[in-house]
Structure 1
Amino acid sequence: MVQPHEPEFEQAYNEVASTLKASTLFKVHPEYEKALEIISIPERIIQFRVVWEDDKGQVQVNRGYRVQFNSALGPYKGGLRFHPSVNLSILKFLGFEQIFKNALTGEMIGGGKGGSDFDPKDKSDAEIRRFCYAFMSELAKHIGPDTDVPAGDIGVTGSVIAYLFGAYRKIRNEYTGVLTGKGWGTGSLVRPEATGYGLVYYVEQMIKHATNGKESFEGKTVAVSGSGNVAQYAALKAIQLGATVVSLSDSKGAIIAPSGITAAQIEEIGAGKLAFKSLEQIISSSSEAFSTKSAIKYIPGARPWVHAGKVDIALPCATQNEVSGEEAEHLLANGTKYVAEGSNMGSTQEAIDVFEASRVKGAGIWYAPGKASNAGGVAVSALEMAQNSHRIKWTFEEVDAKLKTIMVNCFNNCLETAKEYSVDTKEGFPSLVAGANIAGFVKVVSAMYEQGDVF
């Protein structure tokens, strides 16, 4: 149920509810309709203050949160976000999406999300460490390897996860897989790459299905937004598969490269982002990777979609609501065939309406929602949990193969579920939005019924 003043959660809830109600699901399973009301309320919301000391010795205070939304399939699983925009509405939307995303991986993990309005961008390493220890002093009471296993999200890098783990270990006096995205040999290989790689693996299946196996990423032009972890690895994998990536962006602007951004440039962007530099700062440096600056145009205050030109594939990988209805129309007019979200709820409802209307007409954009197409990150987090539980380590190739299998299965699940329950399938292109929402919902609600959460 949606509470007042929660616009992000309201948007996420309405997107799921509308597709469920428009499908035949509740006609086939009328008992599931009541479950929608129940599943929309978190099992538990934890809010707390975080008091820490800055480098000047002054006391600072931030808000901390953990939304433990649903544990029917396993321990709560979802990232921690450190960003000034963090509030309960955003974390509830992310946690709600996480329920269905985690179900679509096929792994036994529940849904949750957390974080703080703390901003690590302007903080020293010592300040970040002190904040993490203060944050974990409360969060440690509510998480554990069989209860709730957080990961990283915006603002929570590998080094931040390391500080959080160190604090948990000291507070609880135990060494367990309570956080994923770890380094120092206890994390999983492919975890940094997983969301971006998984996104590309999902789109590979879209292309394969749409062209009867005749086409791939080879020769495609791809617009990517964002320049963080997800965007970087999605771009690198797309380049590896023979595509040309023509854009990246951040909160201050976008870079457009009609002839393509190189892997070396993406690696330099990655290093700059770890130091919290903007794209403008990175490309204006005198580095070798950007020595031919004329090949890249920086547009302040812009997102890529209107400026990238004609692209075959658009991958929003920045943050929520980063593709507007107007921008969706522009992508459609420019011949884009595939849009898949690396970010959570990357498209506004107006944009989704444009994509879905064009799909129904049979000659437009085939759209994949983030809860399906960006599930690779949490999938590998679940694989990290399995490795931690057994005290084993899989090779990069082993984890990458498992990730690809999960994403292929996720696509097929969305496709077949949409064919079964969606009412607007058109010429072999069913609604992947409906498929993702229904498949995730049915898996979780079935477990809730069996356990007596719904009766």
Structure 2
Amino acid sequence: METQLENVLADVQRRNPGETEFHQAVREVFDSLGPVLRKHPQYVDAAVLERMCEPERQIIFRVPWVDDAGQVRINRGFRVEFSSVLGPYKGGLRFHPSVYLGIVKFLGFEQVFKNSLTGMPLGGGKGGSDFDPRGRTDGEVMRFCQSFMTELHRHLGEHTDVPAGDTGVGGREIGYLFGQYKRITNRYESGVLTGKGLTWGGSLVRTEATGYGTVFFAQHMLATRGLELDGRRVIVSGSGNVAVHAIAKAQQLGARVVAFSDSSGYVVDERGVDLELLRQIKELERGRVSDYAERRASARFSTEGSVWQVPAEVALPCATQNEITVEAARSLVSNGVLAVAEGANMPTTPQAVAVLQGAGILFGPGKAANAGGVATSALEMQQNATRDSWTFEYTEERLAVTMADIHDRCVTTAEEYEAPGNYVLGANIAGFTKVADAMIALGVV
């Protein structure tokens, strides 16, 4: 790493103590930027690096709510508005016990470059709470969301900050959040949240977009080596929204998905995933992947090892950060994996990325591979702004074109900086330079 980059990273670590995920996200980008600073010294002179690592605004607030037993509960809410240089802050809300400021800042930092790569006029931000919706009744979730939005609403707007869903925040939560926003502001500002229901301002394909886009990206990576997704063995981590739709699109394109997981373990189904059964369990019953194995004769559930030990040619991590360790990466390589595309945010540790790249594996980083979600959120915002509604086929076509453009931008940038095939470098530099150029153009603000 260049001395200038090392100095800024050290300052980031000093100013943000204990936020290990944020430190990791910054280091991952900085590892790619040496060639850029040598070619464009104006980024150093304008202190772009320092400014880019400091959020424009960090909001932390108390979220009091009452459970069904009448007991007062207290959670902590966050919104980190990281960069608005390209457009309004855009990024999801995560409700999970692991959420703290470092997680939200890592996600917001990643979001800045992801949104830049889409080519759409979007800034980057992220938010959430340490509230766990799992096991809570609809009434409890509603009261929490209403309390959360009562504070957050003052920072939002379709031209200011536009949240969406993320882990723990699906259609139910978005509905409660939007209802409270509408009630407080006394206006139907449909573009203030994305991921809405189809009958009240949502977009077709938005639910599927992150998973679909990840598979499209994997398909493009394979094509650079004259390979197809059709007929390939695929493993997926997770069983939430992104994972389910990645499974759906992979199988629609002819692949056979043989494994998926949740926090309790993983399922192997050599016949290929029964998508209807999985959706019944996860989306309607809110059950566990072990329930799938109990109902499917060809499936087995395991808590030993990890899903990454299952032999496959394509791996799609769609669960959470740092789930692919060095050990897992070595298992993937020894089992003959050809491509890894990240459906989750930063699911592969830096050391594991090095193992995969060192073995010549095609590796698509999350800021590129899973950008389909935010890209389709932007399409939802377009429809809201024009009071229009597009067909599923047209919207999916727009998504497919966007993912092809992101892939090609990564490839072209990597080649420009003499690192052909390095999607990490290509994504980081392409995302960074667009944001950096805009920051310089707008002055010191």
* Alignment TM class, shorter chain as reference: over 0.9
TM-fit CA distance, 1:302: 4.3
Show CA shifts across 1:154-180 (max 9, x none): 110101100000000001111111100
Q: Conserved in 1, the CA contact under 8 Å of 2:282 and 2:288? A: no
Q: 1:179 aligns with which of 177, 193, 196?
A: 193
- 1:260 is displaced (CA, Å) by 1.5
Q: Deviations over 1:133-189 (max 9, x none)?
A: 100000001011000000000110101100000000001111111100000241100
Given residue 319 of structure 2, which amino acid in structure 1 is its aligned partner? A
Partner Cα separation in structure 2 for residue 88 and residue 16 of structure 1: 19
1:115-145 superposed Cα distances (whole Å, 9 cap, x missing partner): 0000111211101101111000000010110
Report the equivalent of 1:415. Answer: 411
Match of 2:359 in 1: 358
Q: Give the deviation of 1:350 after TM superposition.
A: 1.1
One-letter amino acid of the counterpart of residue 333, structure 2 = L
Q: How far apart in 1 are the matches of 2:184 and 2:305?
A: 44
Q: How far apart, CA to CA, are the structure 1 residues paired with 2:287 and 2:347?
A: 23
1:190 aligns with 2:205: yes
Matches of 2:186 and 2:433, distance apart in 1: 39
Give the match for residue 280 of structure 1: 290
1:320-377 per-residue CA deviation (whole Å, 9 max, x = no partner) reads 0010011101111111110010000010111111012222xxxxx1101000000000
How far is the alpha carbon of 1:57 from its aligned partner? 1.2
Match of 2:427 in 1: 436
The 8 Å contact of residues 314 and 340 in structure 1, kept in 2 or not, is answered as yes
2:305 and 2:85 map into 1 onto residues whose CA distance is 41
Is 1:114 aligned with 2:124?
no
Residue deviations 1:15-55 (CA, integer Å, cap 9, x gap): 0001112xx21111012233122101100000000011111
Cα pair 1:229 1:270 within 8 Å, conserved: no
Specify every segment of 5 or more residues in structure 2 that has no aligned partner in the other structure, as ranges. Answer: 1-11
Aligned partner (choices 300, 305, 313) of residue 303 of structure 2: 300
Paired with 2:444 and 2:137, the residues of 1 have a C-alpha distance of: 45
Q: For 1:51-450, list aligned pairs within 5 A.
A: 51-176=64-189, 177-183=191-197, 184-211=199-226, 215-272=227-284, 275-284=285-294, 290=295, 292-293=296-297, 295-300=298-303, 302-306=305-309, 308-309=310-311, 311-359=312-360, 365-422=361-418, 424-425=419-420, 430-450=421-441
Distance 2:158 2:304 in 1: 42
Distance 2:33 2:278 in 1: 39
Q: TM-score, normalised by structure 1?
A: 0.92
Structure 1 segments unaligned to the other structure (5+ residues): 285-289, 360-364
Give yes or no for contact 2:77–2:128 (8 Å, CA) kept in 1. Answer: yes
Give TM-score scaled by structure 2 length: 0.94
RMSD over equivalenced CA pairs, Å: 1.2
Q: Aligned AA for 1:230?
A: V
Residue aligned with 2:33, SS:
helix
Partner AA of 1:280 in structure 2: S
Shift of 1:444: 0.7
Conservation of the 8 A alpha-carbon contact between 1:252 and 1:301: no
Asked if 2 retains the 8 angstrom alpha-carbon contact of 1:51 and 1:62, the reply is yes
Q: Do the aligned residues in 1 keep the contact of 2:278 with 2:292 (CA within 8 Å)? A: no
Of 50, 59, 82, the match for 2:63: 50
- Quickly say closer, same or farther: Cα 1:301–1:149, change in 2 above 3 A: farther
The one-character-per-residue Cα deviations of 1:273-293 (angstroms, maximum 9, x if unpaired) are: xx4321113443xxxxx3x42
1:301 and 1:386 mapped to 2: Cα distance?
A: 46
- CA deviation vs aligned residue, 1:215-265 (integer Å, no higher than 9, x gap): 321111101110000000001111011100011100010001123212323
TM-superposition CA deviations, 1:395-420 (whole Å, max 9, x none): 10110000000000000000000111
**Structure 1 contact 239–263 (Cα < 8 Å) conserved:** no
Assess if the C-alpha contact under 8 Å between 1:227 and 1:269 holds in 2: no
Name the CA distance, whole Å, in 1 between partners of 2:101 and 2:336. 38
Q: Give the C-alpha shift of residue 301 in structure 1.
A: 5.6
The 1:159–1:302 alpha-carbon spacing in structure 2 relative to 1, beyond 3 Å, is farther
Give yes or no for contact 2:116–2:435 (8 Å, CA) kept in 1: yes
Alignment partners' CA distance in 2, 1:249 and 1:230: 12
Secondary structure class of the residue paired with 1:120: coil
Aligned to 2:6: none
Cα distance in 2 for partners of 1:341, 1:376 equals 12
Letter in 1 for 2:169: V
Q: How many residues align?
A: 428
